Amino acid sequence: MKLPIEYRWLKAHKFNGLLPWWFIESPGQEGLRLEYQKETGEDFYPFARRQDCDDVAGFKVVDGEILSIVVSVHLTWAGKRELEGFPARAEYANIFHWLSEEVVPETAEWVTEEDLADLEEENA
């Protein structure tokens, strides 16, 4: 399965995410994918995870084809389908819409002088 060009472009530019979101080490991570399938009855190819909760982002998969559509979901880890509206999820036209509409606003809430100092020290 070929990943969308937008994702491959970001990875080629060494983009790994914005705190609190990070691209996962192994895109398509089977555990996350399987749990999503159990909870929704649908398929997706996970590529990012929020570090402080069970939010995961992945590309929608239809008939074995990875689409550019990004699904952002808060997994419940129930291992089965639950009540209507669970797990909570949102869809975005592509990875750039997901970044601008979900990731950047959440990152803005995490910006602190202390975290910046830590990052600058790591990169020195």
Residue pLDDT, tens place only, 5-56:
999 999 999 999 999 999 998 877 889 999 999 999 999 999 999 999 999 9
Please say whether the beta carbons of 54 and 25 come within 8 A: no
Give the burial string for 62-84 (b: 16+ CB within 10 Å, else e): eeeebebbbbbbebbeeeeeeee
Question: Residue 122: how many CA atoms within 13 Å on its side-chain side?
Answer: 6
pLDDT in tens, 52-68: 999 999 999 999 999 99
Beta bridge partners of residue 45, listed in sequence order: 59
Res 82: pLDDT: 82
Q: Is the pLDDT of residue 116 over 80?
A: yes
Q: What is the dihedral of CA 81, 84, 90, 91, to 10 degrees?
A: 80
pTM (2 decimals)? 0.89
